[in-house]
Structure 1
Amino acid sequence: MDYGHDLRFGSFITPTASPAQNPVVLAQVSEAAGLDLVTYQDHPYQPAFLDTWTLMSYVAAVTERIHISANVVNVPLRMPTLPRAAASLDLLSGGRFDLALGAGAFWDAIAAMGGPRRTPGEAVTALEEVIDIVRETWRTDERSGVFHDGSAYPVHGAKRGPRPAHDIPIWIGALKPRMLRLIGRKGDGWLPSESMMQPGDLDEGMARIDEAAHKAGREPQQIRRLLNIGPEADTRSWVHRLAALTLNSGVSTFILASDDPQTLHRFGQEVAPAVRELVEHERGARGTAAADPRSRTARAARVAGIAYDDVPAGLRAIEPGDFDYADVRNTYTRGGSPALVLLPADTAQVSDAVRFAARHSNVPLSVRSAGHGISGQSTNDGGLVINLRALNAIEVLDEERRLVRIGAGARWSEVAAALGEHGWALSSGDSGGVGVGGLATAGGVGYFTREYGLTIDRLRAAEIVLADGSVQRVDTEHDADLFWAVRGAGANMGVVTHFDFEAAEVGPIGHARLIYDAGDLEELFTVWGRVVTESPRDTTAFLTVAPQRGGRFIAIAEIVVDQSDPDTVLSRLQPFAQVAPILDQSAQITTYAQVIAGADDGPQQGQGSPITRSGLFRDLSPDVATAAAALVRSGQTYFFQIRALGGAASDVDADETAFAHREAQFSIAAFGSEADRLDLMWGPLGRHSLGLYTSFEASDRPERIEEAFPPRVLARLRRIKQRVDPQRLFRDNFPVGSDSSELTSASPCGQLA
């Protein structure tokens, strides 16, 4: 039968060590011929052969597109490092490694090298154990180690990872019934050699695999059928024979065993296109459906009420049963289980994603700009996530004005590196792993805040997709009201896809880290606040308190001075050296890109939900310092941070942006493990707060919206919300609300921008 798989063509090259028959060059020939796959036999005991794994690694480095595989891996001599070796080669090749396994043969040669000697039954059992171990090792979303109580490969707490770049298929080379049943139960593909088969073996093997798949609750269509073949002299008869093997027997990948460059070229340039054309025509006549890329198990993981099959064409979607799901489900601080993650490639696809979300308005909707965030609002349980990580371009629009366009999916480390090449920078928090979109719609408290203001203060225009899917460009002359709202409450109004910023000229800077003995917390906070506010605006500093054993505390100061002269930097740092006893210190002249480099760009694996309290403060008065010290000593916060604002951020009129607490000189955030206890200890400190900054708040307390936005600001936001999102599609990230009761009770205000 025809399983409807897409057709693939590959080469099977001898890994000879002879320079006259270079297997690396033949791989390049295979790629140039348009083949999809290059494979090598794996017989480590052959002295005339190159080591196959080393060869595949070299080939991966000198090719660009073609996939690489052993044909097949000699499992007895490749374990126990096989899972990590396979994942490593896949990562290094950009997702171009496929794993084909063999249970073992030539046992005398294997034993001579120190490998095991197994009976046929033991070899099948061992191979099944390997399949389980390999897949479990790649499940990096699990926190525990890998355990497998097997007879051949007992594993007791092995570390997981690395995770491959793509869902590596596991193909199995086999002919015997027990191995065929294993393929049906657990394999992703069958890879026999035609030269070793008798008439009828192919169809009989297909039937055995299908039967075993059905018994295991799998769809036979999920198992690819590959075949090692030899060359044929007559191209036309060759094409028709291969097409018949696809249409009648289900073979969808043909791997040509040949070391002749001309034959490989003919196979890729003449045979493969003709087979594809013939099969496509016949499938159309028969009405053969394409193979479903998702297994029965993956479909079973779908959430009721989501129209998975209606996702717009071309829009990438990741479901709970997909390999990539573990990479997109969680955030830095929160564990999530969304029903569907959409990954648009451009603004048009963002519009498609928003319209799709509007048809599912009964489930949560989160928008993620691909970086990590404190609040954890960019994932959910059972809803939709629009992940903007593909919209990560950074473009200079106007060199003279230092005007740059940045995609919402970029991370700030990438932005800092790109702008640094021009001698520019944008203030952007304290971690390069943060995504642009979330920070640039909330405010942006960073290392240049006192000199250049918040991130939003450098924003000159934005492109936003509204709830109806329409795209609008906003600035001070085009829908100034919406542009005002985007700067501080943008997540309420739509999905901002691109930002136009005016960067600041920033060359080499001073960066210092001071570690204080925080024995006297009240004194530390009070003096710290005074030193920060009295410092020149080119100096911005953050302070983090960390508990130590025995009830002690240390405080870590991160200080950035926008000066390149060492003497000037030292003069700026001198007052900070007097704040409290210093346990350790470092200072250097560096670049902003280096200061926020080193962030983990991999998938976020947060668990549970973050518990935070935060606030904005006019100063660190003795009363504030006392309340803050009591909170830290209570043991209810494991992370307590004070960030400097003021300076240029306070120069901006409170009515100019939706971020309105411009008189605040400090932002304070506290993380805890128990919400009620953290709330209790935060209370005395919170009474001094002017309001809060949404990026540092994870609580769902209803009053937090009023704390984030003063009454006049909130009333204006609600009116804009009613205009651009009357159905409240964007309601899951600090929603300002837009129903009539809220609008009626809100204080009236006129046009503020």
Structure 2
Amino acid sequence: MTYGHQLTFGVLLDPDAARPGDGVLLDPDAARAGDSVERARLAEELGYDVVAIAEDPDGLDAWTLLSWVAARTGRVQLAAHTSVPPRDPAMLARSAAALDLLSAGRVDLTLTTGERAEAKGEAEAIEIIRGVLDADDPRPLTYRGEHYRIPRMQRGPLPAHRIPIQISGYAHSLLQIAGRTADGWVAELAVLGPDGVAAANKVIDEAARAAGRDPAEIRRTLIIDPGVSTDDLLPLIVEEGAGTLLVRSTDPTVLRRFVKDAIPALREAVGKTAGTVPGRSAAVRAKRRAGIDYDRVPASLAETAVEPGDVEYARVRNTYLRGGAPGLVLRPRTTAEVVDALGFVRAHPGVPFGLRSAGHGISGRSTNDGGIVVSVAALNGIEVLDEAKRLVRIGPGARWGDVAAALAPYGWALSSGDYGGVGVGGLATAGGVGWLAREHGLTIDHLRAVEMVLADGTVVRASADEHADLFWAVRGAGANFGVVTSFDFEVDEVGDVGFAQFVVGAEDPAALLVAWGQAIEAAPRDVSGQLILGPRRPGQPSFAQVMAVVDADQPDTIIDRLQPLAAVGPLYDQNVVLLPYAGIMANAAEGYHRAQGDPVARSGLIEHLTPEFAAAAARMLASGAVHWFQIRTVGGAVSDVPADATAYAHRSANFSVVAMGSDPRRVDAVWRDLYGYFDGMYLSFETDRSPDRLTDAFPPATLARLRELKRRYDPHHLLRDNFTIDPRGGQR
């Protein structure tokens, strides 16, 4: 029988097989290590898929040697054959995860029994290793078994891929462990023989079925001597389901001959009888969420799709500020795959649907609980289309820090929020309030065209000349009409800029807000910035963070512009630097989002920071209901654009206000005092899903036009979970 695994070939290196040192006297261990590394490099060069190193208790440490091999190779899988005990499984898991991260997901792990014939703790070891590697579980790992005890241990790190754990041996107890829980079984053909392999497979298969597993989940690996003929190997592959053959040799001549003579013949013969590649394991399938037809994920998306049981799930479930638990994350890499993804979403009309670019998402709508998320993070290209016209094309999955870095060599910039980790797609369809807004306008004001996939799967290009109505809607409400797969922007010439960070006293926060607002409104347009306030902390002075960017490269001009801002309150600290715009945007944390919880954010647009508004804001801060309160500058060039030119219509505002807390009832209670001062709202910073927020975001005429377009482009309301404009009226 065949278990459907793709046939792979590898080399099992023997570190004790030293190579002559070409006349140079070497330490014996150094010679063995160097020989192993060179043989691993040769194996990769010859096209082998796996390099395995067996641990020798009296020789070189296998993990140290494998790390050296990893550094000198770039493609082959790295398999460590190691025994527990004496290796501690928890520490072994950490070592494997670390090397897997350093080698970009190339580590496999094979547990051996050393000198023992029977199992002794291997099943517990597998449980512990998997528990340590389950970094998605926030709880500490505890374990009480017959052979191992772990009172309390921090999990992780999360490896780059799901590290396969194989079991090596022939005893009945080991074969049962392989069937019940391991990802693979490894055995020496010379010890078992073909009949022994068949008998062992029978035990493994029976144990797998008894545990509710598909026997195809377990890869079968045979260690072979180089003298075995192709005719002898073929039945082991076709009839006994061997998925990997490891050649035990360090002889370059042998390795080359096997590649030349055996591998092509075996691949050709097996190709005629190849089975179906096994699907996800029973353990992964057990975590699937109701309502999603996982077996019908399009073939184009199956390879990159992530389910709750996958190791990649920890990297894609949450966003920057909030935790999520989607049932499926689809990760298209092309426009055609986006079409396929939306087709899958259409087949699940009752399932929550989130659209995500890079996962910053303060609004929280790019993750969900039990639904489908379509992440376009892989569509992250940045391309200069016309240097003379400063026209660039950017994918929705690119991050603004990367965009700024790509534009910097040309002396260009595009005002785009204030954090480099934000994805292009969400911001460039909502507005884009950035460090250069008063001088250069919103991000959407530089948009010249988009390619997008509509709700029905149609791919269109929208611009001032093509689908002009859709282009109008994309600039401010784009997530309601389709998935943008590329943006064409006309960017600005921007040299070095001044970036200031002040800490000012805020004993009277209302007075500070009024003074800062007046200073900003009086400032030339080349000044943009923000102010952040938090509740007073007991025993500490009250202070505010004031940040500003001056779009100028002359120090005297920068200092002159900043003086009024620095004077709005007692100055506790200051830092002013001259740097490229890309330097400001290089502030994103690396790694995946680990946020938990469900924070509450409220947003509003306001023309002036009046004493009345400032007093209400001070009361809100004093209540303790919000964690922080932020005001960004708009106005200037933003207000130059006619209110009806884009779906972002509240152009007269000079400030964008946002407050964040954790209890929606407490936040709403204090926000009501501010609500009457606002005229409009920036939807990217709003988590309230009530229908009233829709009328805050869009004036009546704008909303009526958007609803008419929604009826035309998304009549079945597919795009319903991202500050949705219901074509029938209302918001969910």
Does the 8 Å CA contact 1:124/1:178 hold for their aligned counterparts?
A: no
1:659 deviates by 0.4
* One-letter amino acid of the counterpart of residue 124, structure 1: K
Determine the structure 2 residue equivalent to 1:136. Answer: 131
Does the 8 Å CA contact 1:194/1:229 hold for their aligned counterparts?
A: yes
TM-score in terms of structure 1 length: 0.91
Q: 1:206 aligns with which of 175, 191, 201?
A: 201
1:134 deviates by 2.0
1:150 deviates by 4.3
Determine the structure 2 residue equivalent to 1:670. Answer: 659
Determine the structure 1 residue equivalent to 2:56. Answer: 43
Determine the structure 2 residue equivalent to 1:518. Answer: 506
Determine the structure 2 residue equivalent to 1:124. Answer: 120
Answer with 700-709 or 212-221: which moved more: 212-221
Determine the structure 1 residue equivalent to 2:222. Answer: 227
- Show CA shifts across 1:390-413 (max 9, x none): 100000001111111000011111
CA distance in 1, matches of 2:500, 2:128: 46
CA distance in 1, matches of 2:11, 2:350: 51
Determine the structure 1 residue equivalent to 2:2. Answer: 2
Determine the structure 1 residue equivalent to 2:144. Answer: 149
Is 1:187 the counterpart of 2:182? The answer is yes
* One-letter amino acid of the counterpart of residue 9, structure 1: F
Residue pairs, 1:216-295, within 5 angstroms: 216-232=211-227, 238-283=229-274, 289-295=275-281
Determine the structure 1 residue equivalent to 2:106. Answer: 96
CA distance in 2, matches of 1:167, 1:103: 23
- Show CA shifts across 1:429-457 (max 9, x none): 11111111000000011111111111101
Q: 1:26 aligns with which of 39, 49, 53?
A: 39
- Show CA shifts across 1:341-372 (max 9, x none): 21111011111111222222222221111231
Determine the structure 2 residue equivalent to 1:328. Answer: 316
CA distance in 2, matches of 1:124, 1:712: 74
Residue pairs, 1:586-665, within 5 angstroms: 586-665=575-654
Aligned-partner SS, 2:86: helix
Determine the structure 2 residue equivalent to 1:725. Answer: 714
Cα RMSD of the aligned pairs, angstroms, is: 2.1
Does the 8 Å CA contact 1:76/1:104 hold for their aligned counterparts?
A: no
Q: 1:52 aligns with which of 57, 62, 72?
A: 62
Q: 2:725 aligns with which of 736, 747, 753?
A: 736
Aligned-partner SS, 1:679: helix
Is the alpha carbon distance of 1:75 and 1:9 closer, same or farther for their aligned partners in structure 2, counting shifts above 3 Å? Answer: farther
CA distance in 1, matches of 2:232, 2:387: 61
Determine the structure 2 residue equivalent to 1:530. Answer: 518
* One-letter amino acid of the counterpart of residue 240, structure 1: D
CA distance in 2, matches of 1:166, 1:19: 37
CA distance in 2, matches of 1:554, 1:173: 63
1:266 deviates by 2.4
1:6 deviates by 1.4
Unaligned residue ranges in structure 2 (runs of 5+) = 22-31
Determine the structure 1 residue equivalent to 2:527. Answer: 539
Does the 8 Å CA contact 1:27/1:38 hold for their aligned counterparts?
A: yes
Determine the structure 1 residue equivalent to 2:25. Answer: none
Q: 2:366 aligns with which of 353, 356, 378?
A: 378
Aligned-partner SS, 1:549: coil
- Aligned residue pairs total 715
Answer with 552-561 or 682-691: which moved more: 552-561
Does the 8 Å CA contact 1:332/1:376 hold for their aligned counterparts?
A: no
Answer with 531-540 or 261-270: which moved more: 261-270
1:246 deviates by 1.7
Does the 8 Å CA contact 1:29/1:265 hold for their aligned counterparts?
A: no
Does the 8 Å CA contact 1:425/1:592 hold for their aligned counterparts?
A: yes
Does the 8 Å CA contact 1:43/1:74 hold for their aligned counterparts?
A: no
Aligned-partner SS, 2:279: coil
Answer with 220-229 or 131-140: which moved more: 131-140
Does the 8 Å CA contact 1:514/1:584 hold for their aligned counterparts?
A: yes
1:742 deviates by 7.7
Unaligned residue ranges in structure 1 (runs of 5+) = 106-118, 284-288, 744-753
Is 1:13 the counterpart of 2:1? The answer is no
* One-letter amino acid of the counterpart of residue 158, structure 2: R
Determine the structure 1 residue equivalent to 2:74. Answer: 64
Determine the structure 2 residue equivalent to 1:311. Answer: 297
Does the 8 Å CA contact 1:173/1:190 hold for their aligned counterparts?
A: yes
1:79 deviates by 5.3
Q: 1:581 aligns with which of 552, 564, 570?
A: 570
Aligned-partner SS, 2:107: coil
* One-letter amino acid of the counterpart of residue 127, structure 2: D
Does the 8 Å CA contact 1:443/1:487 hold for their aligned counterparts?
A: yes
CA distance in 2, matches of 1:204, 1:281: 25
Residue pairs, 1:420-499, within 5 angstroms: 420-499=408-487
1:548 deviates by 4.9
1:664 deviates by 0.6
Residue pairs, 1:497-516, within 5 angstroms: 497-516=485-504
CA distance in 1, matches of 2:543, 2:488: 40
Is the alpha carbon distance of 1:206 and 1:392 closer, same or farther for their aligned partners in structure 2, counting shifts above 3 Å? Answer: same
Determine the structure 2 residue equivalent to 1:338. Answer: 326
Determine the structure 2 residue equivalent to 1:109. Answer: none
* One-letter amino acid of the counterpart of residue 4, structure 2: G
Percent identity over the alignment is: 49
Does the 8 Å CA contact 1:450/1:540 hold for their aligned counterparts?
A: yes
1:140 deviates by 2.0
Does the 8 Å CA contact 1:366/1:386 hold for their aligned counterparts?
A: yes
CA distance in 1, matches of 2:172, 2:514: 78
- Show CA shifts across 1:209-254 (max 9, x none): 2232223222221111111110127xxxx22222201222221110
- Show CA shifts across 1:193-219 (max 9, x none): 223336743223222222322232222
Does the 8 Å CA contact 1:44/1:52 hold for their aligned counterparts?
A: no
Does the 8 Å CA contact 2:536/2:622 hold for their aligned counterparts?
A: no
Determine the structure 2 residue equivalent to 1:700. Answer: 689
- Show CA shifts across 1:523-581 (max 9, x none): 11111111121222222111111335317533112222222222322222222221112
Is the alpha carbon distance of 1:411 and 1:269 closer, same or farther for their aligned partners in structure 2, counting shifts above 3 Å? Answer: farther
* One-letter amino acid of the counterpart of residue 628, structure 1: A
Aligned-partner SS, 1:331: coil
1:309 deviates by 2.4
1:422 deviates by 1.7
CA distance in 2, matches of 1:427, 1:158: 45
CA distance in 2, matches of 1:690, 1:372: 26
CA distance in 2, matches of 1:186, 1:548: 54
* One-letter amino acid of the counterpart of residue 201, structure 2: M
1:63 deviates by 2.0
- Show CA shifts across 1:51-93 (max 9, x none): 3323222222222221111233565246553222211211221
Determine the structure 2 residue equivalent to 1:368. Answer: 356
1:151 deviates by 5.6
Does the 8 Å CA contact 2:327/2:369 hold for their aligned counterparts?
A: yes
- Show CA shifts across 1:88-143 (max 9, x none): 211221111111122444xxxxxxxxxxxxx877x722x33332222222222222
* One-letter amino acid of the counterpart of residue 189, structure 1: G
1:148 deviates by 2.2
Answer with 537-546 or 399-408: which moved more: 537-546
1:671 deviates by 1.0
TM-score in terms of structure 2 length: 0.94
Is the alpha carbon distance of 1:103 and 1:635 closer, same or farther for their aligned partners in structure 2, counting shifts above 3 Å? Answer: farther
Is the alpha carbon distance of 1:232 and 1:562 closer, same or farther for their aligned partners in structure 2, counting shifts above 3 Å? Answer: same
CA distance in 2, matches of 1:249, 1:342: 35
* One-letter amino acid of the counterpart of residue 359, structure 1: A
Aligned-partner SS, 2:449: strand
- Show CA shifts across 1:656-692 (max 9, x none): 1110110111111111121111111001111100011
